[in-house]
Amino acid sequence: MRPVLRWLGLVALAAIALQLFFLLWIAGMTVIDPRTTAFQRSEAWRIATQKDKLRWRQQWVPYEAISDHLKRAVIASEDGSFAQHDGVDWEALEKAWERNAKAEQQAARRAPAGKAPAKPPKVVGGSTITQQLAKNLLLSGERTLLRKGQEFVLTLTLEALLSKRRILEIYLNSVEWGEGVFGAEAAAQHYWRKPAAKLTPYEAARLAVMLPRPKFFELRPQSGYLAERANTIVARMRDAELP
């Protein structure tokens, strides 16, 4: 019994130590710009092992050097209540769960008798900018309840220690906008050949719409959905509240 208790104690101590590490890391980001994220490092390894040449573009720029059009476009597209919520948009999360449940029910009804239902389509939504940042900064890409729980804890920690302005600044400087393209400055230069500070409302909206599937849209610049959705985001941008 004692070896089991000792082992459980070590596991608990390791979990506490990990949380303290995350806490100190996030606290340090109040004054230190994080140059890489866990997601970026995993992408760098993937690209380096699968491609002949590692293409990588990222340049950190301060909050003021990013167009307000892009800030508003990303908020309008990804997280409309960013300035109001505490890191988790419970209403949006509930709606996402409801859509997922309906998709599963429809897949089950369409399945032939005696056969397992086809996997329902992935439902996007409910994840806030802060949650996305928590996941990209420090966590792996695996989809487990344990990782989701850790994401929730990190989200609340980010909101407690950093301002909304700082969270948005870090997010815009680290989010993926294509294969090996990270951050607003790299995206603006890659797609529009101009600095992030000079983006027009439509250019900003196009970049914002790419965020859920940046590699997909990078290969499909003439996508009708991309253009149509960008026009919708432009119309919503005036209502997006900046931190």
The model's pLDDT over 13-58, given as tens digits with 9 standing for 90+, comes to 887 887 888 889 899 999 999 988 999 999 988 888 887 677 889 9
Yes or no: say if 134 and 103 are a contact pair by the CB < 8 Å rule: no
| Other beta carbons less than 10 A from residue 21's beta carbon | 11
Q: pTM score, two decimals?
A: 0.85
Q: Give the pair of three-digit tokens for residue 74.
A: 């990303």
Instruction: Place 238 in a pLDDT band, splitting at 50, 70 and 90.
Output: very high
Q: Is the pLDDT of residue 217 over 90?
A: yes
- Main-chain dihedrals φ then ψ at residue 57, nearest 5 degrees: -135, 120
The model's pLDDT over 196-216, given as tens digits with 9 standing for 90+, comes to 999 999 999 999 999 999 999
| Domains detected in the chain | 2-89+126-237 (1.10.3810.10)
Q: Which residues are CB-contacts of 213 (< 8 A; sequence separation ≥ 6)?
A: none
